[in-house]
């Protein structure tokens, strides 16, 4: 499964026309201990580059931006009861939402792992 990355530190993996979206390992390290996550409602339309969810940590509250435009078809309910899962499994089990993509061409604007690693290395 191919994983792509946004400049806003979200990751996205595709399964057909449904994208699974979460925040990167780098993002969770910057946040510190995550204490609360506000997920979008199923059925919500998310727009590329706009706020889709909120993560609160002991340090700060931070927006999670949609890396693609589409409709939320599922959210990770496990995060509501265990927001710290993001710190343990940022790029695995701690995905935030699944989005049915409106325009797959938006994927071309995202980075691969090597380019994302260069971005965070500065």
In this predicted model, what pLDDT tens digit does every residue of 44-91 receive, in sequence order?
A: 999 999 999 999 999 989 999 999 999 999 999 999 999 999 999 999
For 95, the domain range is: 3-104
99 within some domain:
yes
b/e for 77-95, b at 16 or more Cβ within 10 A?
Answer: eebeeebebbbeebbeebb
What pLDDT, on a 0 to 100 scale, did the predictor assign at position 98? 98
31 within some domain:
yes
| CATH (domain of 96) | 2.40.50.100
76 within some domain:
yes
Q: Residue 76: which residues within 8 A CB-CB, separation 6 or more?
A: 39, 94, 95, 96, 97
Q: Into how many domains does the chain fold?
A: 1
119 within some domain:
no
- Tell me the average pLDDT across 18-38: 97
CA distance 113 to 120: 11
112 within some domain:
no
117 within some domain:
no
- Asked whether 84 and 28 are in contact (CB, 8 A), the reply is no
CA distance 22 to 100: 15
Q: Residues of the chain with pLDDT > 70: what percent? A: 99
111 within some domain:
no
17 within some domain:
yes
Residue 1 pLDDT exceeds 80 = no
């Amino acid at each position: 499964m191919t994983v792509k990355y946004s400049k806003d530190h979200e990751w996205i993996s595709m399964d057909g026309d449904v994208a699974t979206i979460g925040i990167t390992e780098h993002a969770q390290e910057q946040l510190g201990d995550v204490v609360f996550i506000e997920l979008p409602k199923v059925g919500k339309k998310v727009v590329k580059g706009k706020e889709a969810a909120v993560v609160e940590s002991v340090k700060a509250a931070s927006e999670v931006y949609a890396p693609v435009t589409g409709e939320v078809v599922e959210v990770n309910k496990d995060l509501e009861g265990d927001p710290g899962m993001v710190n343990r499994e940022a790029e695995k089990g701690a995905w935030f939402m699944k989005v049915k993509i409106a325009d797959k061409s938006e994927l071309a604007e995202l980075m691969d792992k090597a380019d994302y690693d260069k971005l965070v290395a500065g």
